[in-house]
Amino acid sequence: QVQLVESGGGLVQAGGSLRLSCSASEQTSYAMGWVRQAPGKEREFVAAINWRESTYYADSVKGRFTISRDNAKNTVYLQMNSLKPEDTAVYYCNADATILILRRGGSRYWGQGTQVTVSS
């Protein structure tokens, strides 16, 4: 059972940056990713990365967000630049066998979420 713990959320002004981290309890070859959910909205895929460091991004964050992973530290990162108020949401880390599963909204493992608030 892989446990995921997120950190790095907070309050930032529009145009600013934040870096989220997600640490896994054990080394895993799973694809890992991030989804977000804003109040009153459905959960939205953000980005994912597999063991070989292939990546996939939602169109809404492409060019602004960068996902990366450090397999030696069992950690995945989400660097968020040029943040917009519409990026405000709870961000969840997740993991499963493939990026495709994560893109489709399925995931075997989930973190508890971290709040990101972008003020205008």
pLDDT in tens, 13-63: 999 999 999 999 988 899 999 999 999 999 999 999 999 999 999 999 999
Q: Are strands 65-70 and 55-57 parallel, antiparallel or unpaired?
A: unpaired
pLDDT for 64 equals 98
pLDDT for 87 equals 98
| Cα–Cα distance for residue pair 82/3, rounded to 1 Å | 30
- Nearest-Å Rg of the Cα atoms of the chain is 13
C-alpha distances out from residue 110 to 5, 12, 15, 83, 84, Å: 9, 25, 28, 24, 25
Query: If pLDDT is split at 50, 70 and 90, which confidence band does 1 have?
Result: confident
